[in-house]
């Protein structure tokens, strides 16, 4: 058993973390070319497409991992995985709106 | 170890064709995929299905598994008979979809834990920096409110000197960032796989889930609480005490509110930027008429209040 007594600080990736193309591909253990494909397909957007190197919002890490899992586990192609991701994100945002709306509906 | 009925897990008959097995797998995998499914046990089910499919999709493994016979029940105490798989030759090159280290001890006993280092997406470059690693952890809701330090235990598999995989355990004290919510990733710099030579270690990414709480439910960064109230507290609009993860607050009920109504306590959800809200769902609880006095009060209301909750139903 390896025990590290120091307190390790963690940062929330989705909030304020920016990842370079290199960092993003390393975090998902994929080739940078594959990330470029995701950008070409309109699945990911760099913060500034003209910048070099590209930088991505931390939210992109989660999106890449979901695409990866869907492709590996369900054998869907890239377009199918991208569509599923988009629908999953829509469900999440609808779920939050439902919770908020229910608070405004009287006697519900 | 427990016997696993792979046919039952996949919901197919023992004489199912390979096509039927594949169809059953695809359907179940879509239903229980942890990124897609809202089922609470999705991850466990998904692993189970993956393991069952790993055996049943491969005619060699399936034939060997069938050798065990039909008399076994799921969950029954099981030891493989000595030399049970003699004469079977396994040709497959590894586990394409599943991480073999995740399979049950039942699977391991039958087919061995053949360590597979070929990852599909492995970067083939000459970067000697350590790999980034991922894990999931469960924290308490209070940790996200307070930003507390939690000790987390992580397990990973390493190839031992004998070429067999070994499970290594390590403990880390992590300061949970305040305001983190369900499904978010947190990054611990330099806590991934060690680098080679003087190169840096990779980073560790942890996906956050919350331990179930006896009365708070979490949706994104909003927190839901069912609050039992009396009919008169609601009708008269009384002030009631409400527990929040950071302490008690007084809540003035709007007079005449109905049961089931959600009240929003602005920005008392998880303290993200911007913070979530705390929703209080009011649930009327009726005192039972188990004493003469209680019974008398109900009877008095019955006589004196001309109240028909079913008027809209025409009765």
Map A22-88 to HEC letters.
Answer: HHHHHHCCCCHHHHHHHHHCCCCCCCCCCCCCCEEECHHHHHHHHHHHHHHHHCCCHHHHHHHHHHH
Q: How far is A53 from chain B (nearest CA, A)?
A: 18
Q: A8, B132: Cβ pair inside 8 Å?
A: no
Question: How far out from the chain centre does Cα A97 lie?
Answer: 21
Give the mean pLDDT of B268-282.
92
Q: How far is B259 from chain A (nearest CA, A)?
A: 7
Q: Which of B121, B183, B270, B283 to mutate to test the interface with A (most CBs of A within 10 A)?
A: B121
Position B84 scores a pLDDT of 61
List residues bridging with B280 in a β-sheet: B225, B263
Domains contained in chain B, CATH given? 6-210 (1.10.287.110), 222-287 (2.60.260.20)
| CB contact at 8 A, B164 and B114 | no
pTM of the model: 0.72
Does residue B122 have a pLDDT over 60?
no
Position A96 scores a pLDDT of 81
Residue B101 — very low, low, confident or very high, per pLDDT cuts 50/70/90?
A: low
Q: Token pair for residue B57? A: 């999709």
Q: Name the phi and psi angles at B118, rounded to 5.
A: -80, 105
**Number of Cβ within a 10 Å radius of residue B285:** 12
Residue closest to B278 by CA, chosen among B223, B218, B202, B231 = B223
Q: How far is A10 from chain B (nearest CA, A)?
A: 5
Position B98 scores a pLDDT of 46
Q: Token pair for residue B74? A: 């799921």
pLDDT over 70 percentage in chain B: 85
Kindly give, in sequence order, each residue whose CB lies less than 8 Å from that of residue A98, ignoring residues fewer than 6 positions away. none
| Chain A, nearest residue to B134 by Cα | A27
Average pLDDT, chain B: 84
Q: Which of B26, B27, B123, B131 to mutate to test the interface with A (most CBs of A within 10 A)?
A: B123
Q: B224, A4: Cβ pair inside 8 Å?
A: no
User: What is the C-alpha R_g of chain A?
Assistant: 18
Q: Which of A2, A11, A73, A100 to mutate to test the interface with B (most CBs of B within 10 A)?
A: A73
Contacts of A72 in chain B (CB under 8 A): 97, 120
């Amino acid at each position: 058993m390896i025990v590290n007594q120091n307190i390790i600080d963690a940062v929330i990736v989705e909030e304020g973390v920016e990842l370079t193309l290199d960092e993003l591909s390393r975090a998902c253990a994929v080739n940078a070319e594959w990330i470029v494909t995701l950008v070409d397909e309109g699945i990911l957007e760099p913060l500034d497409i003209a910048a070099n190197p590209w930088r991505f919002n931390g939210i992109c890490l989660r999106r890449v991992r979901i695409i990866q899992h869907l492709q590996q586990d369900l054998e869907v192609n890239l377009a199918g995985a991208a569509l599923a991701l988009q629908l999953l994100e829509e469900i999440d945002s609808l779920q939050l709106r439902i919770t908020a709306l229910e608070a405004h509906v009287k006697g519900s | 170890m427990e016997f696993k009925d792979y046919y039952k897990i996949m919901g197919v008959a023992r004489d199912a064709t390979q096509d039927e097995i594949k169809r059953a797998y695809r359907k179940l995998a879509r239903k229980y995929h942890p990124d897609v499914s809202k089922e609470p046990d999705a991850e466990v089910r998904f692993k189970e299905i993956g393991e069952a499919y790993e055996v049943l999709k491969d005619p060699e493994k399936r034939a060997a598994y069938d050798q065990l016979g039909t008399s076994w029940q799921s969950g029954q105490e099981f030891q493989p008979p000595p030399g049970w798989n003699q004469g079977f030759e396994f040709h497959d090159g590894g586990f394409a979809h599943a991480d073999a280290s995740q399979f049950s001890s039942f699977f391991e006993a039958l087919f061995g834990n053949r360590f597979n280092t070929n990852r599909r997406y492995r970067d083939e470059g000459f970067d000697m920096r350590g790999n980034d690693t991922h894990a999931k952890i469960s924290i308490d809701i209070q940790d996200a409110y307070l930003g507390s330090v939690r000790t987390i235990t992580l397990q990973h598999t390493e190839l031992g000197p004998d070429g067999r995989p070994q499970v290594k355990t390590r403990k880390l004290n992590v300061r949970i960032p305040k305001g983190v919510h369900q499904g978010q990733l947190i990054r611990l710099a330099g806590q991934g796989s060690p680098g080679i030579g003087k190169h840096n270690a990779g980073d560790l990414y942890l996906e956050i889930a919350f331990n179930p709480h006896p009365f708070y439910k979490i949706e994104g960064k909003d927190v839901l609480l069912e609050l039992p109230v009396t009919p008169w507290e609601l009708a008269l609009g009384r002030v009631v005490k409400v527990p929040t993860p950071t302490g008690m607050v007084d809540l003035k009920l709007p007079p005449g509110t109905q049961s089931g109504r959600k009240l929003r306590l602005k920005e008392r959800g998880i303290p993200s930027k911007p913070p979530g809200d705390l929703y209080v769902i009011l649930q009327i609880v009726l005192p039972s008429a188990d004493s003469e006095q209680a019974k008398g009060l109900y009877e008095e209301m019955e006589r004196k209040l001309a109240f028909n909750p079913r008027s809209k139903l025409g009765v």
